[in-house]
Amino acid sequence: MNNETKQIKGLVLAAGKGTRFQSGQPMPKVLRPVLGRPMVSYVIESLRGAGVEDITLVVGFGADEVIGALGSQFYYVHQLEQLGSGHAVMCAREHFADFSGSLVVMCGDSPLFSSGTLHKMIDEHTRTEASITLAVTTLDDPFGYGRILRDDFGRVVGIVEEKCASDKERLIREVNGGAYVFDAEWLFGNIRLMTRNQSGEYNLTDMVRVAAEQNLQVSAVQCDPEELLGVNTPEQLALIEEILRGKLCE
């Protein structure tokens, strides 16, 4: 195993506009200030805390603003048309063409993920030699989250989004956390097998189905339910700030 194989890199999805923020000048969602810092900076900080220093960002709406705010220490991939999380990762395929290590993929609007959770995911990914490792948790009210599908042996075989779930699947309380570690070579070698959802978008979660159909290992690591909280509305932003303010006082 050479050094290239052992490497770990990060990919942050940061192309969104944040259409549910109505007030003020439109701005890239990942630059929304959280306690005075762009929310994406918390994601980057967690990656670095887990030992991931080589980080690429997928940018779209307000790309120049994001690049201007974060600087030249990162590599940037442009997603010219927003067609879902899977499409965002597709846009980075050429950039990672010669990379055969582990790729940590995160959303730029999930500032509560801890470096400790990412560390556990990376360790589990390596230990199990998985093609994908997921962050998962169990919620009393799983509404709105993708449900984790397991077979009779407890193996993860898919993720079904809320709007596509059957009544029975909606009863599942184990949900997808939205952070992933991929075998990069496998990911980009098979990403064309993703299918569009009912909205015409590519969900990155569909790669779990692809891996399961190939009888490959999909691992899962439990995370704190709090870590799942994303920022799509001013109300959610206020809640995230309250949680982070509390952590600063601990």
Going by pLDDT thresholds of 50, 70 and 90, the confidence category of residue 233 is confident
- The answer to whether residue 100 scores a pLDDT higher than 60 is yes
State pLDDT tens for residues 168-192: 999 999 999 999 999 999 999 999 9
| Residue 44: per-residue pLDDT | 98
Task: Report whether 76 contacts 57 (CB < 8 A).
Answer: yes
Question: Which domain CATH number covers 143?
Answer: 3.90.550.10
pTM recorded for the entire structure: 0.94
Catalytic residue among 20, 127, 170, 245: 20
Give the tokens for residue 52. Answer: 């991931």
- Report CA torsion sign: 9, 159, 129, 202: negative
Kindly state the average pLDDT of the residues 131-155.
97
Going by pLDDT thresholds of 50, 70 and 90, the confidence category of residue 105 is very high
- The answer to whether residue 19 scores a pLDDT higher than 70 is no
Q: Provide the residue range defining the domain that includes 38.
A: 3-17+24-248
Domain count for the chain, please give it.
Answer: 1
State pLDDT tens for residues 192-216: 999 998 888 999 999 999 999 999 9
Please name the residue that has the structure tokens 């969602």.
29
Q: Is 20 a catalytic residue?
A: yes
**Number of Cα atoms under 13 Å in the Cβ half of residue 185:** 10
Kindly state the average pLDDT of the residues 81-107.
96
Going by pLDDT thresholds of 50, 70 and 90, the confidence category of residue 147 is very high
| Residue 250: per-residue pLDDT | 67
